[in-house]
Amino acid sequence: MDQAPNRDQAWQLLCEYTKTDQLRRHGLSVEAVMRAAAIKHGEDPDRWGIVGLLHDFDYEKFPDQHPTAGKAILEERGYPEEIVRAIQCHADFLGLERRTPMEKMIFAVDELTGFIIACTLVKPTKSLSEIEPKSVRKKLKDKAFARAVLREDIYKGAEELGVDLDEQIMFVAEALKPVATEIGLNP
């Protein structure tokens, strides 16, 4: 397949392997951020969006082999190498060098997106408009808050992109607003 499957096909693949709403919402969230990042950087939002949507599609079914199990599935279904490799690059433990902007971005926004959503969910209004870098940074220091989030990946991701973490926090919060209702938040 020379071209990436379309968004509907990617959504079907996600739903085939991911049954929980929480993990599907995470895919939708990261997709929204990746699309916004692609537009900001003059790249293809559909391609980047598919990377965001599918980056964890195999996690629920193959938690101990994620994302390697997904690599074989994506290759078998004809996904382009560029998409498959970017998805692999979001897992720092694989030790892949992130070379392209898309590979760097998926790594940089995966954990941060989940963390910002967690920060929003504890706000009384559950509104992304209330997100401020200072409060997100404070929560990052609280190891008991959203303890599954890999904080090192958040810091390393911003560093690899060469962006200020405060700017990255605000970018992600803004990028999530169009899908806020869909993911259980307010814009």
- Quick: pLDDT tens for 11-56: 999 999 999 999 999 999 999 999 999 999 999 999 999 999 999 9
- Structure token digits, residue 101: 């902007």
- Quick check: is 187 in a domain? no
- Quick check: is 186 in a domain? no
Rounded CA gap, 185 and 121, in Å?
A: 7
Look at the chain and report how many structural domains it folds into. Answer: 1
Q: Look up the domain containing 50 and give its range.
A: 7-180
- Condensed to tens digits (0 to 9), the pLDDT of residues 86-138 reads 999 999 999 999 999 999 999 999 999 999 999 999 999 999 999 999 999 99
What is the model's pTM? 0.96
- Condensed to tens digits (0 to 9), the pLDDT of residues 129-163 reads 999 999 999 999 999 999 999 999 999 999 999 99
Q: Does residue 7 carry a pLDDT above 90?
A: yes
pLDDT at residue 1 in the model: 42
- Structure token digits, residue 113: 């997106």
> Strand, coil or helix: what is 13?
helix
- Quick check: is 112 in a domain? yes
- Quick check: is 163 in a domain? yes
CATH number for 18: 1.10.3210
- Quick check: is 56 in a domain? yes
Query: CB within 8 A of 145, min separation 6: which ones?
Result: 118, 139
pLDDT at residue 5 in the model: 86
- Quick check: is 1 in a domain? no
- Quick check: is 93 in a domain? yes
Which residue is it, tokens 């996600």?
Answer: 14
- Quick check: is 87 in a domain? yes
Q: Does residue 67 carry a pLDDT above 70?
A: yes
pLDDT at residue 161 in the model: 96
Three-state secondary structure along 148-185?
CCCHHHHHHHHHHHCCCHHHHHHHHHHHHHHHCHHHCC
